[in-house]
Amino acid sequence: MTIENIAPKKERKSRKNKAIVDENAPLLPKRGEDVGFDEFNGASFTGAVFNLSTTIVGAGIMALPATMKVLGLGLGIAMIIFMAFLTEASIELILRFSRAGKSSSYGSLMGDAFGKYGKILLQVAVLVNNLGVLIVYMIIIGDVLSGTSSNEGHHAGVLEGWFGEHWWTGRTIVLLVTTLGIFAPLASFKRIDSLSFTSALSVALAVVFLVITIGITVVKLIDGSIGMPRMLPDVSDVSSFFKCFTVVPVLVTAYICHYNVHSIDNELEDSTQIRGVVQTSLALCSSVYIMTSLFGFLLFGDGTLDDVLANFDANLGIPCGSFLNDAVRVSYAAHLMLVFPVVFFPLRLNLDGLFFPSSRPLVLDNMRFALVTVGLIGIIFLGANFIPSIWDAFQFTGATAAVCIGFIFPAAITLKDRHNIATKKDKILSIVMIVLAVFSNVVAIYSDAYALFKNANTPSPRE
């Protein structure tokens, strides 16, 4: 994967010499303007990689093994790799056109191409996407710590397993304590590079989850308790064919990081490093995705749930199985807690840019900063308590806002080509991205709606 020519030759590399960012752009405060961060000399390459990787590897990884159940292992892994290349291509377009138009945020880039309404459309898309993703994070944390119930039965949470059922192990109380004790303090940082340490820790926790899952799978492979997985989808009729497209929104959501690329680029000491940051992050995350999908599906097969963490409440049939179950679930729940503020950062700035476009910088207005932060966290908390499934949330955000942010908007900017820098190859790629995005997501929405309608009209066994 390559990103070419995103930095003009005359561009000055030092962060101190970067152009000033329009504060009204939604994704980052003004750069180069005195906002109280004079002691900050630029983010490191490693910190930028961790922040972008943390943006990518969020809750989507938990739904990827379920996509293998739909597509089969061979086609599923091929789709993960394909989406990585497509994501890199769309980010390359964003960065190249940002350089040409001297746009230092995704919002200002959309404004440059399509005017005020283009910028507003991007802000709304980021709001919908990030709200949905953060609600998914809270849902998973609630499932892990407090348990979840489905048609297959009740899956006990970690706290319920340790202490039994009590009022303080209920989902609402656990999420409230997590919100006040972890999310609120981490969301109070005003600069994204302040989260580089927690981002590194979150990546380490994701690796812990992956290593334990691989270890469990290898042990069960050795003792012969795991069979050969399906390599291709099980397509027996038209509805099962359309069902294959329902994984597209999940795969799209798994790679969405476009809204944070400018924020991370703006804080780099050397702007030309963004090329390596994007490549390294995508390579790292793709590897994690492939291994998680492979070993998660091998371990649970066609019994893989939408949230694979919920599978880790059963007897694994190996020594120390109960301890390993808890270690897997707790490590990933902690990972999501640390990812939360990285995704929350652009959400808050977009909301402020959408509703207070003419106000002074958000980082200088402590009252507005606090009110926006508290309001958003409250909405996310309520959503996590009323939305039942992460698959439902992924289907909605992935088929609408995420696909726009990741593919339709970059392709539209390229086809608009205000600065006459798009090549014929760029325009062909953009048309392909739009056609694939629209077709696959329309089919996915249709398939989900058809399944819901069919289930609603199917008599229950008791009737």
Residues 106-161: tens digit of each pLDDT = 888 998 888 888 888 888 888 888 888 888 888 888 878 876 665 555 666 777 76
Q: Indicate whether 20 belongs to any domain.
A: no
Cα gap 250→231, rounded to integer Å: 19
Return the exposure string of 368-406: e unless at least 16 CB atoms fall within 10 Å of the residue's CB, then b: bbeebbeebbeebbebbeebebbbbbbbbbbbbbbbbbb
Domain count, the chain: 1
| Residue 42: both structure tokens together | 């630029």
Structural domain boundaries, residue 79: 45-452
| Residue 44: both structure tokens together | 């490191």
> What single-letter DSSP state applies at residue 398?
I
Cα gap 160→157, rounded to integer Å: 5
| Residue 454: both structure tokens together | 């069919």
**Pick from 106, 82, 95: which is nearest to 3 by CA?**
95
| Residues of the chain falling short of pLDDT 50 | 1-40, 460-463
**Pick from 325, 383, 295: which is nearest to 61 by CA?**
295
Q: What is the pLDDT of residue 454?
A: 61
Q: What is the pLDDT of residue 152?
A: 58
pLDDT tens digits, one per residue of 171-208? 788 888 888 888 888 888 777 667 777 777 877 887 88
Q: What is the pLDDT of residue 42?
A: 62
Secondary element (H or E) of residue 200: helix 196-222
**Pick from 270, 165, 213, 203: which is nearest to 56 by CA?**
203
| Residue 106: both structure tokens together | 């995704």
Q: Indicate whether 24 belongs to any domain.
A: no
Q: What is the pLDDT of residue 10?
A: 44
Q: What is the pLDDT of residue 91?
A: 93
Q: Indicate whether 373 belongs to any domain.
A: yes
First to last CA, the chain: 56
Q: What is the pLDDT of residue 451?
A: 61
Q: Indicate whether 459 belongs to any domain.
A: no
At 80, phi and psi to the nearest 5?
A: -60, -45
At 456, phi and psi to the nearest 5?
A: -70, -25
At 307, phi and psi to the nearest 5?
A: -110, 105
Q: Indicate whether 2 belongs to any domain.
A: no
Q: Indicate whether 258 belongs to any domain.
A: yes
Q: Indicate whether 12 belongs to any domain.
A: no
Cα gap 107→99, rounded to integer Å: 14
Residue 426 belongs to domain with CATH number = 1.20.1740.10
Is residue 288 within 8 A of residue 56, CB to CB? The reply is: no
Q: What is the pLDDT of residue 392?
A: 62
Q: Indicate whether 26 belongs to any domain.
A: no
